[in-house]
Structure 1
Amino acid sequence: MTTSLINTEIKPFNASAFKAGKFIEVSEADLKGKWAVFFFYPADFTFVCPTELGDIADHYEEFQKRGVEIYSVSTDTHFTHKAWHDSSDTIGKIQYTMIGDPTGAITRNFQVMREDQGLADRGTFLVDPDGIIQAMEITAEGIGRDAEDLLRKVKAAQYVAAHPGEVCPAKWKEGEETLAPSLDLVGKI
């Protein structure tokens, strides 16, 4: 049975990854004190996946300006990530970390493993600097995600973290009015 991971701490992990032309090791310790997005996808060399990863790549600088690191994750190996990076113009522009999870341990930790296929669902997880999951989204195979909407959610999560007692309403964009929940607000919205 799947339970919500919102407000839970990410589980420890160690993984090999591909980033900036090099193989690196990544663990949960690398995330402490930083915002992070884990962007799970089914497989390299597929169809919707490169459009999503390319969209994130196009917005990576904006995420970096907000202090957010991106970690794409599939059950492919870090070697496969490098081969895909080297052979695809879309994937070749990626500068963020591409984690290989061939054992599926990380994918299972985030509860997005399709056990019958050994592939990840399309899952997005926003993790705060304390390692706590603040937002998550899981979509079906054919539904691609939008980096601009993810960036909007990052901004909202960062705003709420920096402004205790305030919340961001639907469609909130940076600079817009927020809400301060109180007894006086009940039934007035």
Structure 2
Amino acid sequence: MKTLISKKAPDFVASAVLNGKDIVKNFTIKQFLGKKYIILFFYPKDFTFVCPTEMHAFQEKINDFKKRNTEIIAVSTDTEYSHWTWLQMSKDKGGILGITYPIVSDINKTISYNYGVLSGNIICDSSNNIIKAEGELIAYRGLFLIDKKGIIRHILINDLPLGRNINESLRMIDAIQYFEKSGEVCPANWKIGKKSIKANHDGIIDYFS
């Protein structure tokens, strides 16, 4: 599958749970375009092991994302009712009580497929009729940073056992916002306060603090 980097983020309309309790049927990322950056992250399953650690880790940093004008949105292939039930369970019982950002239901697998993070394979016959599925049709741990114009600027996809580093997501938001403001690019391991790079008209690299 071709990369989605620098492409328009695929839109969707789906059911989601908001504020840990409210089920809506027509959630879309269009509502944030022109207003906010988006961290859209996919996870494999509700009621599992690595997934709740990531969910809580994003919630713990939610004020840092808000300071950067960034909306966090989670997606898995579970139903909205599964999400809602998981949201009522306390952390010490493996639940995600206290999560306030939207959790989207991709029960039809189309969102995961369009973002290139759907695991497993769908086997079709010569007439394109589905015969069977090989492996579980669930989402890998994909993460997409979408700018205010709806363009995907950063992609990270982990295999199922590997949890993400939430601080890296914040660093990438800082980097794209710094670039948009200054026009200077961000070298390896860059963070706010470190030197950025700008090429002058002679092709010589200048460093800026």
**TM category, shorter:** over 0.9
Counterpart secondary structure, 1:145: coil
Alignment partners' CA distance in 2, 1:79 and 1:161: 39
Is 1:98 aligned to 2:103, yes or no?
Answer: yes
Please say if residues 167 and 181 of structure 1, whose CA atoms lie closer than 8 Å, have aligned partners that are also in contact.
no
Counterpart secondary structure, 1:108: helix
Alignment partners' CA distance in 2, 1:63 and 1:144: 19
- The worse-fitting range, judged by mean Cα deviation, of 29-38 and 177-186 is 177-186
2:55 to 38, 53, 56: 53
2:180 to 138, 143, 161: 161
Tell me the alpha carbon deviations over residues 92-147 of structure 1, each in whole angstroms, 9 at most, x when there is no partner.
Answer: 12111111110011111111001331100000000000110000000111111011
Considering Cα pairs closer than 8 Å and 6+ residues apart, tell me whether 1 or 2 has the greater RCO: 1
Q: In structure 1, what is the equivalent of residue 162 of structure 2?
A: 143
Q: Structure 1 segments of 4 or more deviating over 4 A?
A: none
RMSD in angstroms over aligned alpha carbons? 1.4
Alignment partners' CA distance in 2, 1:172 and 1:38: 22
Alignment partners' CA distance in 1, 2:167 and 2:146: 17
The residue identity in structure 2 corresponding to 1:96 is: Y
Alignment partners' CA distance in 1, 2:64 and 2:29: 23
Q: In structure 2, what is the equivalent of residue 26 of structure 1?
A: 27
Runs of at least 5 residues in structure 1 that lack an aligned partner in the other structure: none
1:114 to 114, 119, 126: 119
Please say if residues 75 and 104 of structure 1, whose CA atoms lie closer than 8 Å, have aligned partners that are also in contact.
yes
Alignment partners' CA distance in 1, 2:112 and 2:4: 13
Runs of at least 5 residues in structure 2 that lack an aligned partner in the other structure: 121-134
Counterpart secondary structure, 2:180: helix
TM-score, normalised with respect to structure 1: 0.93
Q: In structure 2, what is the equivalent of residue 39 of structure 1?
A: 41
The residue identity in structure 2 corresponding to 1:148 is: N
Counterpart secondary structure, 1:69: strand
